[in-house]
Amino acid sequence: MSLADLVNNNLKGFDPKKDNINGGGNGLPAGDYKVTISEAGHHVYDSGFDCLRFKFEVVEGEHTGESELMNVSFAETSSKGNPIPDFVLERNMKTVLTLGSLMKADLTPDMFLLGNETDIHRAIDEKIHGHIGVLVNMNITERPNKKDPSNPYKQYEFSEAEQPEQIDVDDDDLPF
């Protein structure tokens, strides 16, 4: 993407007196994308937030080269000690099981019974670690965030994408 494209696509409406310079990092807009899972694994942020982090990179279309980060956690309470709603945990489980299936990783519902969120995240990380690079179809929808209207909630759906053809090359095929 050229500087002109960046200016036209990302700086419209940016107010340097009010806006966060890290803002606009809300990832991809709502839509359908063919992406590669370029990173996936257990991550603990400096704040202490413990999660599985997935990075998706768009491989075709208008947003080629752009990426989306998605964090999924199995903590049962928030940082303030409030219980995480069941629907959130259930959605997170379904998301990880779907991605695991698309990645051809051997994930099962029993993995969510392994103990605390760190134990669960580590166990899933071990299963998905070697399966990075698979292509998937990703659909992003947005819904309003009443507390922060400029940062809508994102919802994801994933489905199988056609994988590139594998070509076997051995040392005898190389020119050097």
Helix/strand/coil (H, E, C) string of the chain?
CCHHHHHHHHCCCCCCCCCCCCCCCCCCCCEEEEEEEEEEEEEECCCCCEEEEEEEEECCCCCCCCEEEEEECCCCECCCCCECCHHHHHHHHHHHHHHHHHCCCCCCHHHHHCCCHHHHHHHHHHHHHHHCCCEEEEEEEEECCCCCCCCCEEEEEEEECCCCCCCCCCHHHCCC
Q: Flag whether 46 is in a domain.
A: yes
User: For the chain, how many structural domains are there in total?
Assistant: 1
Which domain does 77 fall in, by range?
27-162
pLDDT higher than threshold 50 for residue 23: no
Q: Flag whether 12 is in a domain.
A: no
pTM reported for the whole predicted model: 0.77
Q: Identify the weakest region by mean pLDDT among 71-75, 100-104, 112-116.
A: 112-116
pLDDT higher than threshold 70 for residue 1: no
Tell me what percent of the residues of the chain surpass a pLDDT of 90.
55
Q: Flag whether 3 is in a domain.
A: no
Q: Flag whether 10 is in a domain.
A: no
